[in-house]
Amino acid sequence: MSRSAPKDPCKISACRIQTCLKEHKFDETRCYDVLEDMRQCCLKWHKVSLCCSGIKLDRNYRLEKEAAEREKLEKQHKP
């Protein structure tokens, strides 16, 4: 009986990032939600997930998204 290799727990998140980036012409700011999902996965699984190599665990994409949205609103309301 052969055993299959264990699945990488963050592979689905990594694939979602690639899809999002491709759909948005590699504009990272349009993919903050999926990037944050990946970061959350890697916070939990970074010791076993090969997909997490290179992911900055201390970078909070939700906070960056909120800051970018605030900045955009401020620019719209300036005279």
Looking at residue 20, its pLDDT comes to 98
The amino acid sitting at 40 is Q
Considering only residues 30 and 78, tell me which one the structure prediction assigns the higher pLDDT.
30
pLDDT tens per residue across span 26-65:
999 999 999 999 999 999 999 999 999 989 999 999 999 9
Residue 5: predicted pLDDT? 57
Query: Is the entire prediction scored with pTM above 0.75?
Result: yes
Task: Please give the structure tokens belonging to residue 38.
Answer: 């990946």
What are the extents of the domains in the chain?
11-77
Write down the pLDDT at residue 6.
67
Cα 28 to Cα 35: distance, rounded to the nearest angstrom: 8
For residue 1, pLDDT beyond 50: no
